């Protein structure tokens, strides 16, 4: 069985508003495939991010946690997502600059192209 981890990314101090759920941390289920799974050291993990975080923020936090090996598999030297990496939110392919922020419970899949024959 592949390791499963839960990572917590500290959030900015929330405004106190007891009747509002905005600003609460959200859980994002991240799935890794192929070489990305090896670089992350897990097939999947739950990452906790501040409310309304973007896909780019999520990937940035994941890279900070997993280090250079994963960063070089995802990004070029200018921090552009490599064309060989596909992102899916649920079962919809998205770009790193997806217009909508992530929501609590979203599933983000990082797919890397596999070469060979």
* Mean of per-residue pLDDT scores for the chain: 84
* pLDDT tens digits along 27-51: 999 999 989 999 999 999 999 999 9
Residue 53 pLDDT > 70: yes
Domain ranges of the chain: 4-10+24-112
Radius of gyration over every alpha carbon of the chain, rounded to an integer in angstroms: 15
pLDDT higher at 65 or 115: 65
* Listed residue (34, 51, 17) closest to 111, CA to CA: 34
Q: Are 106 and 29 in contact (CB under 8 A)?
A: yes
CATH for 4-10+24-112 is 3.10.20.30
Q: What's the pTM? A: 0.79
Bridge-based pairing state of the strands 92-94 and 85-89: antiparallel
């Amino acid at each position: 069985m592949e390791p499963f981890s839960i990572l917590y990314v500290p959030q900015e101090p929330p405004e106190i508003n007891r009747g509002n759920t905005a600003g609460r941390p959200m859980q994002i289920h991240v799935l890794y495939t192929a070489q990305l799974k090896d670089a992350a050291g897990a097939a999947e993990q739950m990452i906790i991010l501040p409310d309304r975080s973007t896909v780019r923020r999520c990937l940035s936090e994941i890279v900070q946690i997993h280090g250079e090996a994963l960063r070089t598999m995802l990004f070029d030297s200018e921090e552009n997502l490599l064309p060989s990496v596909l992102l899916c939110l649920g079962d919809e392919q998205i770009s790193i600059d997806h217009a909508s922020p992530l929501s609590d419970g979203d599933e983000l899949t990082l797919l890397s192209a596999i070469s060979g024959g």
